A and B are shown apart, each in its own frame.
Chain A
Amino acid sequence: MGLEQKLGNLGIVTTKLEDVVNWSRTNAMWPMLFGLACCAIEMMAAQASNYDMSRFGMELMRASPRQSDLMIVAGRVSRKMAPVLRRLYDQMPEPKWVIAMGDCASCGGVFNNYAIVQGVDEVVPVDVYVAGCPPRPEALIHGILTLHEKVRGEKLRDNA
């Protein structure tokens, strides 16, 4: 209804190509299932009916990296898992973004020892960090909306 009012009878709308591209990227960003530990449960709760993430375009979570654009690293990344994480990140097609969900993915969290990578940004470049142990589903959604704002501000030549 809103779009027709703006268009009138013309059927033509003028805008910047960047805006259209970024709008389409944010409104249908498909996350890749990368739930590792406790944050995965909160991610599942964010996907469930109380804090529905489908309202923001993330209707499905794709298990295959080839079909997703967003990787939400939810949980602690151990040293054994780090090469797997990098490999999956490399398999995702451009454009891709990474959200580090939770304290363990952001900075190692409670665990400062031999087995946990201290922050997933040692393995993949991260766009948004969501704090919390585990972050509430609303915090995760806030992180996703922050990412949407970041994507809306991207220029075409960033991903060229």
Chain B
Amino acid sequence: MTTTKEFEFPLMDGTLDGMTHLVSDRAIEGDTVLLNMGPQHPSTHGVLRLLLELDGETVITCIPDVGYLHTGIEKNMEAKTYIKAEVMSDRLDYLNNMGNNLVYCLAIEKLTGLDVPERAQVIRVILVELQRISSHLVWLGTHALDLAAMSVFLYCFRERELILDIFEMISGQRMMTTFIRPGGLWRDVPVEFEAAVRQFIEALPERIQQYEKMLTKNPLFIRRTKGLGVMTPEDALRWGVTGPMLRASGIAHDLRKAQPYAGYEQYDFDIPTHTDGDTYARYLVRMEEMRQSLRIVRQALDKLPYGPVRSNNRKYVPPPRSELSTSMEAVIHHFKLWTDGFTPPKGSVYMAVESPRGELGVYLESDGGPKPYRIHWRTPSFTNLQTLPMLAKGNLVADLVALIGTADIVLGDVDR
């Protein structure tokens, strides 16, 4: 039986001594195998290292080792002004860029009391829901790819290209757009935006039908996912799990309904839940969420009003460039904002939104200066990943791959 001497890679502090409290007694005797499912692995959706204690193929203990993507974003944001720091927020949960921008801007708006015009609110909702659909498409593609359904991966990325084309049309960038700014949006969307989004939402429902036809009643898929990784509602609450993982266990908690932001109370949509709490239930919940997102986008498009897209508060929002040639105050505001940056009042806020993975929150504390004094990102994948050892006990290694997929973790979120 292998012992830790085989790994030249340091485990925790190089010996088994550092982890005797984590593995079962059989590992110390040498009865079970310690396997390193390393940072580079096709199924771990990023750089996640799992130390598995295996008895044959059955997992006895699973110890996640995170930090291989730690970027020091929180400390780096403290060294930049608020607007420059927003660029980094895109890159946290890199499948939910608009959502990260949104929560950051909502936190600043809560801290400073900034108003957001109506048109900007509606467009924000449209973009965030499109981003949610694109994130769920990537989830579906990679989850099915891990379970050996490769064609679903290709179909999902084909749909995702349509969404990325829309993002490129409005901002010039496919993924890291930084389009949502404090006080509204960066600039107004072009004329073709509405037609493009409408075309997309007409095309998507039958595509979702296609995926459902391939997977939902597929006996192989059901065999691999039903009954796997059951999470009871009490466990989910104790471990602080949010998002589709919580809703698949039966608790209908969605921040868009519980503590609405950005005008979500005006839209009519359902929160899909399921009672089983297993991998198949989470799959059903996320597929239904895509449909509900389409519903929201359709309602938002129908009520898209005319008007400005950025707030008029010149202490925080730069003036439009057309004003710079005529108004002296505009030039002064522009100068102050670009050299010093805006200075919110002293205080601290916590703002949370519903990202495709769960509750994404920003704790922002300001000391009256132009840079955030402390910004902490409460990311859903960090909390959801903590439940993996509990879910993986007693399952096979192949099931572990399915569990990582169903937890829908993004390592940028976990390590920040």
A and B touch in the complex (CB under 8 A): yes
Q: Which residues of A contact B (CB under 8 A)?
A: 33-38, 40-42, 44-45, 48-50, 61, 63, 75-76, 78, 80-81, 84, 87-88, 110-116, 133-134, 136
A50 / chain B contacts, CB cutoff of 8 Å: 157-158, 161
Asked whether any CB of chain A lies closer than 8 Å to the CB of B91, the reply is yes
Name the residue in B75, B94, B176 with the highest tally of chain A Cβ atoms < 10 Å from its Cβ.
B94
- B75, A37: Cβ atoms under 8 Å? no
Whole-angstrom distance between the Cβ of B57 and the nearest chain A Cβ = 19
Q: Could you say which of B68, B75, B153, B175 contacts A78, with CB atoms under 8 Å apart?
A: B68
Whole-angstrom distance between the Cβ of B178 and the nearest chain A Cβ = 11
A38 with B68, Cβ < 8 A, contacts A48-B154, A48-B158, A63-B42 known: no
Asked whether any CB of chain A lies closer than 8 Å to the CB of B56, the reply is no
A80 with B40, Cβ < 8 A, contacts A38-B94, A45-B161 known: no
A37 with B94, Cβ < 8 A, contacts A78-B71, A116-B72, A136-B174 known: yes
Determine the residue in chain B with the shortest Cβ distance to A115. Answer: B72
- A116, B158: Cβ atoms under 8 Å? no
**What is the CA–CA distance of A76 and B186 in the complex, to the nearest angstrom?**
27
Determine the residue in chain A with the shortest Cβ distance to B42. Answer: A63
- B153, A48: Cβ atoms under 8 Å? yes
Name the residue in A76, A110, A113 with the highest tally of chain B Cβ atoms < 10 Å from its Cβ.
A110
**What is the CA–CA distance of A81 and B415 in the complex, to the nearest angstrom?**
12
- A80, B67: Cβ atoms under 8 Å? yes
A110 with B88, Cβ < 8 A, contacts A35-B46, A42-B175, A134-B175 known: yes
Number of A-B contacts (CB under 8 A): 93
B91 / chain A contacts, CB cutoff of 8 Å: 37-38, 110
- B46, A41: Cβ atoms under 8 Å? no
A37 with B412, Cβ < 8 A, contacts A84-B40, A115-B71 known: yes
B409 / chain A contacts, CB cutoff of 8 Å: none
B70 / chain A contacts, CB cutoff of 8 Å: 78, 80, 115
Q: Which 6 A-B pairs have CB atoms at the shortest separation, nearest pair first?
A: A48-B157, A38-B94, A115-B72, A63-B42, A113-B72, A81-B68
Contact with A along B135-175 (1 / 0, CB 8 A): 00010001000000000011001101100100000000011
A116 with B71, Cβ < 8 A, contacts A37-B46, A88-B40 known: yes
- B175, A49: Cβ atoms under 8 Å? no
- B158, A33: Cβ atoms under 8 Å? no
Q: Could you say which of B9, B40, B67, B153 contacts A34, with CB atoms under 8 Å apart?
A: B40
**What is the CA–CA distance of A131 and B194 in the complex, to the nearest angstrom?**
32
Q: Could you say which of B47, B161, B175 contacts A41, with CB atoms under 8 Å apart?
A: B175
Whole-angstrom distance between the Cβ of A131 and the nearest chain B Cβ = 14
- B39, A81: Cβ atoms under 8 Å? yes
**What is the CA–CA distance of A34 and B68 in the complex, to the nearest angstrom?**
13
**What is the CA–CA distance of A63 and B43 in the complex, to the nearest angstrom?**
10
Return 15 A-B CB contacts under 8 Å, by A number: A36-B47, A38-B176, A38-B412, A41-B94, A41-B138, A45-B160, A48-B158, A50-B161, A76-B71, A78-B70, A84-B38, A111-B72, A112-B76, A134-B175, A136-B174
Asked whether any CB of chain A lies closer than 8 Å to the CB of B95, the reply is yes
A sample of 12 more A-B contacts (CB under 8 A), given A37-B412, A63-B42, is A35-B46, A36-B68, A44-B157, A49-B158, A50-B158, A63-B41, A78-B67, A80-B68, A111-B71, A113-B71, A113-B75, A134-B174
B46 / chain A contacts, CB cutoff of 8 Å: 35-37, 40
B252 / chain A contacts, CB cutoff of 8 Å: none
